[in-house]
Amino acid sequence: MANDKALARAIFDAGVAAADPFKAVDRALDDVGAPALIIAIGKAARLMAKAALARFAGTRCLVVTNYENAAPLAGATVMAAGHPVPDENGAKAAGAVIAHLERVRGPVLALISGGGSALVPAPAGRLTLADKADVNALLLGAGLDIRAMNLIRQQLSDLKGGGLLRHAAPQEVTALILSDVVGDDLSIIASGPTVGPIGTPELAVETLKQARLWSRVPASVRAHLTGGSAPVALPQARNILVGSNAQSLAAMALAAPDPYVIPIPVEGDVTQAARLICDHARPGVTLWGGETTVILRGDGKGGRNQELALRIAMEAARRGWVDWTCLQGGSDGRDGPTDAAGGLVDHMTVAKITDPDARLANNDSYAALAEAGDLLITGASGTNVADLGVLIWRR
């Protein structure tokens, strides 16, 4: 089993390495002219900016990333902010982004990666950061997919849904985008700061009502969404995808011995996702990519990858599987508000956990996997292309 855990980790690491932000940006810069300003936003922002500065030394550069990935970068101003819940530092960073854009006189190079939505909260209209934080916390616990969450977030923000373009106008904007979204919809990645909005205020209201959140969001948010403000035409950007979950999954397949790749993204509720993975699994190595959701019903500690890993372990136990190992992890190295990337479980995991059903009912997958000694701890990777999974089944 130890050898299979090492193999699973090596396959996962190959997928993360394929999403290296420096290399992804460096490859794309051959077709990009010299900018007057570099703005990098997201979990991979620092390494993306490092590649751009290696090519365009001396260009003014602002980097906004999460605390775990923040570090000084020669030639750049680096600002750290909260993720997944926006904070005051993020609001300051958003203000700095807007100020830089409104002062620039020349082309802008935007480097966008996952996590950017929370990292630069610029409240629209009369909304406050507290309003946005309240909504974000509700969205994260409601089991909504990333598209639905970003549809709502865009309507509450001055930078999302093409807002960056509005502040940069009339300057030309080229965006290099590292996708953390299954399907690589550019309007969803970091809530689409260089792409038009994916919905309308009316659709955001409908989505909140369907999720039974409308009465729970702040009154100021309800007033903003029903205020009837007319949409504003946005300039166009040149948007270029430089890395994705699919590319990382392909790299994992190259690193694995005779793998079977699940042909559809693993999405939706973690309970259903665990069953889908076990239904598709074949003897040998099975691989998948995607991004699941968790409905928060308890007050435990965990994240979607940890909970999915534990649910796979329990589903495999119910099916009577033996001699198997599974790794489920976030490519960014951080799963929810924890220091874990996910879980690295096997057929002995469930037996080592005190009342795993109760732990799951309380969304306490972190404590459960810690008890089993099966947390996946990788440290922040500096990139973000959603989630990756490996199952090695010897039968």
Q: What is the pLDDT of residues 345-393, one digit of tens each?
A: 999 999 999 999 999 999 999 999 999 999 999 999 999 999 999 999 9
What's the rounded Cα separation, in Å, for the pair 162 and 177? 14
| More reliable by pLDDT, 283 or 233 | 283
Is 221 found in the same domain as 263?
no
In terms of C-beta density within 10 A (0-12 exposed, 13-18 middle, 19 or more buried), how is residue 370 classed?
middle
The letter for the amino acid at 155 is: Q
Is 141 found in the same domain as 156?
yes
Is 251 found in the same domain as 235?
no
The pLDDT of 65-92, averaged and rounded, is: 94
Per-residue pLDDT for 253 more than 60? yes
pTM of the model: 0.84
Q: How confident is the model at residue 133 (pLDDT cuts 50, 70, 90)?
A: confident
Identify the CA nearest to 201 among candidates 221, 186, 177.
221
Is 54 found in the same domain as 117?
yes
The letter for the amino acid at 22 is: F
User: Can you read off the two tokens belonging to residue 52?
Assistant: 């751009």
The last residue of one of the domains, among 198, 220, 243, is 243
The domain tally of the chain equals: 2
Q: What is the pLDDT of residues 17-52, one digit of tens each?
A: 999 999 999 999 999 999 999 999 999 999 999 999
Query: Which residues, 6+ apart, have CB-to-CB distance to 344 below 8 Å?
Result: 5, 8, 9, 309, 325, 326, 327, 329, 374, 375, 376
Is 289 found in the same domain as 200?
no
- CATH number of 149's domain: 3.40.50.10180
| More reliable by pLDDT, 49 or 146 | 49
Is 94 found in the same domain as 33?
yes
pLDDT of residue 150: 86
Per-residue pLDDT for 211 more than 80? yes
Is 339 found in the same domain as 230?
no
Per-residue pLDDT for 175 more than 60? yes
Is 187 found in the same domain as 95?
yes
In angstroms, what CA-CA distances link 298 with 16, 87, 268, 358, 368?
31, 24, 19, 10, 14
The last residue of one of the domains, among 243, 261, 290, is 243
> Is the distance from CB of 345 to CB of 299 less than 8 angstroms?
no
Is 263 found in the same domain as 189?
no
Query: Which residues, 6+ apart, have CB-to-CB distance to 214 below 8 Å?
Result: 205, 208, 222
**77 alpha-carbon distance from chain centroid:** 23
Is 297 found in the same domain as 213?
no
Secondary structure element (H or E) that encloses residue 203, with its range:
helix 201-210
Is 215 found in the same domain as 174?
yes
| More reliable by pLDDT, 231 or 63 | 63
- CATH number of 294's domain: 3.40.1480.10
Residue 372's domain comprises 2-13+246-393
Q: What is the pLDDT of residues 305-353, one digit of tens each?
A: 999 999 999 999 999 999 999 999 999 999 999 999 999 999 999 999 9
pLDDT of residue 85: 82
> Is the distance from CB of 68 to CB of 334 less than 8 angstroms?
yes
Is 345 found in the same domain as 207?
no
What's the rounded Cα separation, in Å, for the pair 350 and 284? 22
pLDDT of residue 88: 94
The last residue of one of the domains, among 202, 227, 243, is 243
Handedness of CA 282, 286, 288, 293 (dihedral sign): positive
pLDDT of residue 210: 96
